[in-house]
Amino acid sequence: MASGKREKQTDRGLYEWVQAVVCSVLAIVLMFTFVVRIIGVSGQSMRETLQNGDKLLVLNSCLCGDYRRGDIVIFQKPEFENGELIVKRVIATEGQTVDIDFAAGQVFVDGEALEEPYIREPTWLDEGLEFPITVPDGCVFVMGDNRNDSKDSRYEGLGPLDTRHIVGRAVLLVLPGETADLDRREWSRIGTLN
């Protein structure tokens, strides 16, 4: 009798363990499908903030609410860059006017010069869009932090970005990419993004 009782307890314990594992896996799959995802950075357009190969934790767009200046967003536009995921920073939102003085390398939003400690160098590269430009409803104006090596909203083929193309907002650098010069990772860069 005692051995039959032990077998039932063992079977029940095994069943509960398998059930816990299945529920955990299901919860993780649902979370990475509907809440967050991990996305890799490809290219140099966000240097110095982000490096090629960095892995970002991205909050899905349905949970982001309104986008604000300074947000780092990931978007996909099929007709731009072969439909790849692209990472840029929001510079202005709907209704705001963006102007760029390419001679001085300065970006203005609603007539105020932006303080941009995150950029690699001043904005010298003109991509062809006519300025000033007012960001249309439902759109944001995005630029890379490495302004002179970035195709962004200054580019006529993109212009102000429809927020429906945004996949999500990057909230955390979870794994740094390898630095090109030292072939090592800079672990101190892990953390929240601003």
Question: Catalytic residue numbers?
Answer: 45, 88
Distance of CA 171 to the CA centre of its chain: 7
> Token pair for residue 127?
């991509």
Contact criterion met (CB below 8 Å) for 149 and 177: no
Is residue 119 within 8 A of residue 107, CB to CB? The reply is no
Pair 92, 109: CB distance under 8 Å: yes
CA torsion 34-160-175-44 (nearest 10°) is 150
Structure tokens at 140: 């944001």
Taking alpha carbons only, the member of 138, 174, 161, 169 closest to residue 36 is: 169
